[in-house]
Amino acid sequence: MTFTTVIGLLASIGTSSSLLPQLFKIIKEKKAEALSIGMLLVLFAGLALWIWYGILQKDMIVIVANAFSLVVNIILLILTIKYKK
C-alpha cells in the first residue's frame, strides 16, 4: 500500500463519515427542521457523479467512499422527509 493510497483512504473516511453526526442527531431527536432537502439533493447528485467518475477511472477508493456517503445521504433524505414538520 502506497503513501498516496493511505492518504486517499484517510481522506475518504473523513469525508464519508462527515454526515454521520447529523444522521445520529436526527435519529435521536426525531426532528429535521433545520436540514435542507435542497442541499441533500445537490450532495446526492455530486456523490452519484463521483461514483461514476470512480467507475470510469477504476478507482475503488473513490467508488467505495462515495457509495458509503451516498447511502448515508439517502438515509438522511428519507429521515428529513419523515421528520420535517
Kindly report the pTM of this predicted structure.
0.85
Q: Return the CA Rg of the chain.
A: 14
Residue type, 4: T
Q: What is the pLDDT of residue 22?
A: 92
**Over 90: is that where the pLDDT of 59 sits?**
yes
DSSP-derived letter for residue 54 is H
C-alpha to C-alpha distance for 70 and 42, rounded to whole angstroms: 11
pLDDT tens string 66-83: 999 999 999 999 999 999
C-alpha to C-alpha distance for 85 and 78, rounded to whole angstroms: 13
pLDDT tens string 23-37: 999 999 999 988 888
